[in-house]
DNA sequence: TTGAAAGCGCTAACAA
DNA sequence: TTGTTAGCGCTTTCAA
């Protein structure tokens, strides 16, 4: 059960092993008859080409590395699945590394991928400093960040138009008759979050709506737990908002929990609007209306970007994806 | 920004490149002074070893391939994350391939991984025929199936003790005072599902409980949708069960939806018990009590198995993991 | 303790 | 159209 190599095929076929290589790579400089014959022998001998050896000489691995903050996070796992599909369509495999939201580990994983000579790296950032964290590696391997806005010129990235997403949410609420809303979960230090919050402010002011804020001071992520706490505080002394626009679905889920606990009915007493459209939100018992980040589109854009930079040199590019509203049952018309 | 190789390091350090290799691999046959000096130069020149070249000569890649039916499925993504962690601890990276529940694609992905010379393959099966589907590949690469029971001797696998899981669920229901239950979602052709169903029957008979069945005839997976349909049919002409034990959490979620729609209150009017403990079930609004498959343990066992078979030859092994009950709020004491 | 050199399985330039 | 051959960057004998 030893691994069959090209040389043994050559011996059996009575040709040089270069000829076998040509047959396999579909090179035009080979006779149809020989090709057929060789291919048949390969098949019979169950030959599987050694990608490692091939990578070595071709100086490409056909592997895209992915460094993600989490594999299990519903938003990210959906993104990764879409990245896998998009990569596969272009003939690439994925090497997925988990940073567990840890900047040090993220760095190690990134470096590892470089050593593995992947053809490109897609990063789903562990934190807001990820791009800075990874900027030390001078490399000609294309790197694309997904889902987080970066400073322009800092690095290539794919993100939704967060300001537009905020506007879409606010306009929807406006259309539903809401004039006084709470924006929950704004936070410092994240460009993505500032863009959303600023978008909300701008849209509200243009539409003549009143907006108040409940900021997320927790150092951690935008977790359900944070949403729960924030909403709980709000419900303790409500300020008359008829709708809560949450910066992320996780926060919204937490806010929903707090509302349930406080006996505040959704959407009868208050409307809740999320952001991201993670899989949880579509459950019948949840029915969260939310601003969607189109993950498949983002994944496609990331793959396109990473592969185009491979051939065209490494200017910093970025792609902005249009978000859209997914209407369910957590918001009511008033 | 050309890639630095071992030769250039050698030149700078004024040693042969074999010596550099030794310094890097921590070989004992080298002087401390030289090692230090070489390592420092590597650092300064930002040398990153080429894993591809190394793999070629060492005949191992330190990569574990994963073929999964879905990356996004909550059960599987949790499993994959745990596999990544366990693999990393042992110095391995993951190459994750998605079969999208398609047996043909699953085969291609498997073969691809073989070509990439991964050191082992973990398969999260696309269907009940997966092991058969993949049995054509004679290879000395260890393969371990996770999450499905297989015929013994067919291949190596890791699965929970499904009969025990069924018993745990039934005993819990018994303890809560239920004597008449419905088992929802039994299906043909899957050893895993038969084991669960048989376990339920056996436990019920031993405890003197009455159990009826609502079988899953849909050819597809154990989806929420199937659970919804099945439960809907049941609620149309209920047979007096006080609890529904669902073969999977997805089915249970669907059953919950059907109950909500039919005005059947959970747990007041009927109790629902799931199986798997996928992340969805822990949401406050769901609160599904369920029999957990311990994913981290399963992942660890799979990695252990795949790596041990690498060194010890390829007998077929299997590991059985003990499931446990996670109590939430979907079952009531009567 | 170090160096020289073979070779891992393959591709691609060059010859024939 | 096919064969010969030189590497790709590294590890690992074998010699020194």
Distance separating alpha carbons of residues A296 and B26, to the nearest angstrom: 44
In whole angstroms, what separates CA A75 from the centre of its chain?
A: 7
Q: What is the pLDDT of residue B159?
A: 98
Q: Is the CB of B62 under 7 A from strand D?
A: no
DSSP labels, A11-50 = HHHTS-HHHHHHHHHT-SSS-HHHHHHHHHHHHHTT----
- Closest CB to B49: pick one of A49, A115, A284: A115
CB of A46 less than 8 A from some CB of B:
yes
Q: And the tokens for B99?
A: 């079969």
> Does the A6-49 domain belong in CATH 1.10.260.40?
yes
- Please report how the helices A6-13 and A17-25 are oriented relative to each other, as an axis angle in degrees rounded to 10: 110
Distance from CA of A328 to the nearest CA of B (A): 15
Q: Is the distance from CB of A63 to CB of B94 less than 8 angstroms?
A: no
CB of B71 less than 8 A from some CB of A:
yes
Distance separating alpha carbons of residues B184 and B213, to the nearest angstrom: 6
- Which one of A47, A51, A114 would you mutate to disrupt binding with B, by most B Cβ within 10 Å of its Cβ? A51
C-alpha closest to that of A294 among A328, A261, A324 = A324
C-alpha closest to that of A247 among A316, A188, A329, A311 = A188
Report the chain B residue with the minimal C-alpha distance to residue A87: B97
- Please report how the helices B6-13 and B32-44 are oriented relative to each other, as an axis angle in degrees rounded to 10: 120
Q: Is the CB of A11 under 7 A from strand C?
A: no
Chain D: bases < 7 Å from a protein Cβ: 1-5, 7-13
Q: Is the CB of B31 under 7 A from strand C?
A: yes
Element (H, E) at B107: helix B103-115
Q: Chain A to chain B, count of Cβ pairs less than 8 Å apart?
A: 130
Q: What is the pLDDT of residue B310?
A: 85
CB of A117 less than 8 A from some CB of B:
yes
Integer-rounded Cα Rg, in Å, for chain A is 25
- The reply to whether residue A1 touches residue B49, judged by beta carbons under 8 angstroms, is no
In this structure, is the dihedral angle defined by the CA atoms of residues A174, A269, A331 and A188, taken in order, positive or negative?
positive
Residue A314 CA distance to nucleotide D4 C1' (Å):
38
Distance separating alpha carbons of residues B30 and B47, to the nearest angstrom: 20
Integer-rounded Cα Rg, in Å, for chain B is 25
Can you tell me whether residue B256 is helix, strand or coil? helix
pTM of the model: 0.96
CB of B263 less than 8 A from some CB of A:
no
Strand partners, B244: B182, B272
- The reply to whether residue B51 touches residue A115, judged by beta carbons under 8 angstroms, is yes
- Residue B60 main-chain phi, psi, to 5 deg: -155, 150
Q: Classify residue A315 as exposed, middle or buried by CB count within 10 Å of its CB (0-12, 13-18, 19+).
A: exposed
The low-confidence residues of chain A, meaning pLDDT below 70, are 1-2, 219-220, 313-314
In this structure, is the dihedral angle defined by the CA atoms of residues A308, A310, A312 and A317, taken in order, positive or negative?
positive
Q: Which residues contact B65 (CB under 8 A, 6 or more apart)?
A: B94, B95, B97, B110, B113, B116, B118, B120, B121, B122
Distance separating alpha carbons of residues A105 and A228, to the nearest angstrom: 29
The low-confidence residues of chain B, meaning pLDDT below 70, are 1-2, 220, 313-314
CB of B262 less than 8 A from some CB of A:
no
C-alpha closest to that of B169 among B158, B184, B159 = B184
Element (H, E) at B257: helix B249-262
CATH class of B162-293: alpha beta
Q: How many CB atoms lie within 10 A of CB A92?
A: 22
- Closest CB to A117: pick one of B52, B111, B279: B52
Distance separating alpha carbons of residues B116 and A54, to the nearest angstrom: 10
Distance separating alpha carbons of residues B229 and B254, to the nearest angstrom: 8
- For chain B, where are the E strands, in sequence order? 63-68, 93-98, 120-124, 143-146, 156-160, 180-186, 210-215, 243-246, 271-276, 289-292, 318-321, 324-326
Taking only the tens place, the pLDDT of each residue in A235-263 is: 999 999 999 999 999 999 999 999 999 99
Q: Which residues contact A327 (CB under 8 A, 6 or more apart)?
A: A172, A289
- Closest CB to A84: pick one of B71, B117, B286: B71
Kindly state which CATH superfamily the domain A61-160+295-321 is placed in: Response regulator (3.40.50.2300)
C-alpha closest to that of A73 among A257, A256, A276, A231 = A276
Q: What is the pLDDT of residue B170?
A: 98
- Residue A319 main-chain phi, psi, to 5 deg: -125, 135
Long-range contacts of B11-19 (CB under 8 A, 24+ apart): B12/B41, B12/B45, B13/B37, B13/B38, B13/B41
For residue A267, say if its preceding peptide bond is cis, omega within 30 degrees of 0: yes
Please compute, for residue A85, the number of CA atoms within 13 A of its CA located in the half-sphere on the CB side.
18
DSSP labels, B11-48 = HHHTS-HHHHHHHHHT-SSS-HHHHHHHHHHHHHTT--
- Closest CB to A71: pick one of B80, B138, B260: B80
Strand bridging mode A63-68 / A120-124? parallel
Q: What is the pLDDT of residue A180?
A: 98
Distance separating alpha carbons of residues A267 and B142, to the nearest angstrom: 53
Say which residue the tokens 């592997």 belong to. A63
Locate CATH 1.10.260.40 in chain A: 6-49
Name the DSSP letter for residue B279: G
Locate CATH 3.40.50.2300 in chain A: 61-160+295-321, 162-293
- The reply to whether residue A138 touches residue B72, judged by beta carbons under 8 angstroms, is no
- The reply to whether residue B71 touches residue A77, judged by beta carbons under 8 angstroms, is yes
Q: Is the distance from CB of B320 to CB of B160 less than 8 angstroms?
A: yes
Element (H, E) at B109: helix B103-115
Please compute, for residue A316, the number of CA atoms within 13 A of its CA located in the half-sphere on the CB side.
11
Say which residue the tokens 């859209």 belong to. A324
């Amino acid at each position: 059960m030893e691994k069959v190599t090209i040389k043994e095929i050559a011996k059996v076929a009575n040709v040089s092993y270069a000829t076998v290589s040509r047959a396999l790579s579909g090179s035009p400089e080979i006779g149809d008859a020989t090709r057929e014959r060789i291919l048949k022998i390969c098949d019979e001998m169950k030959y599987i080409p050694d990608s490692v050896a091939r990578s070595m000489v071709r100086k490409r691995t056909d592997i895209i590395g992915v460094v993600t903050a989490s594999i299990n996070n519903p938003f990210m796992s959906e993104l990764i699945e879409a990245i896998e599909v998009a990569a596969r369509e272009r003939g690439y495999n994925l090497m997925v590394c988990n940073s567990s939201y840890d900047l040090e580990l993220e760095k190690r994983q990134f470096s590892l991928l470089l050593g593995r000579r992947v053809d490109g790296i897609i990063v789903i950032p562990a934190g807001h400093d990820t791009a800075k964290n990874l900027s030390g590696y001078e490399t000609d391997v294309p790197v694309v960040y997904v889902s987080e806005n970066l400073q322009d010129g800092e690095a290539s990235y794919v993100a939704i138009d967060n300001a537009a997403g905020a506007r879409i949410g606010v306009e929807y609420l406006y259309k539903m008759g809401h004039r006084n809303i709470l924006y929950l979960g704004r936070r410092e230090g994240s460009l993505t979050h500032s863009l959303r919050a600023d978008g909300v402010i701008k849209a509200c002011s243009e539409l003549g709506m009143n907006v108040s804020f409940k900021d997320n001071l927790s150092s951690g992520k935008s977790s359900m737990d944070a949403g729960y706490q924030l909403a709980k505080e709000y419900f303790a002394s409500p300020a008359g908002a008829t709708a809560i626009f949450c910066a992320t679905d996780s926060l919204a889920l937490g806010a929903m929990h707090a509302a349930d606990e406080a006996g505040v009915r959704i959407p009868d007493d208050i409307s809740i609007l999320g952001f991201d459209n993670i899989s949880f939100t579509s459950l019948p018992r949840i029915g969260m209306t939310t601003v969607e980040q189109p993950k498949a589109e983002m994944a496609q854009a990331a793959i396109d970007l990473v592969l185009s930079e491979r051939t065209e040199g490494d200017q910093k590019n970025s792609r902005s994806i249009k978000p859209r509203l997914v209407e369910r049952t957590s918001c009511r018309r008033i």
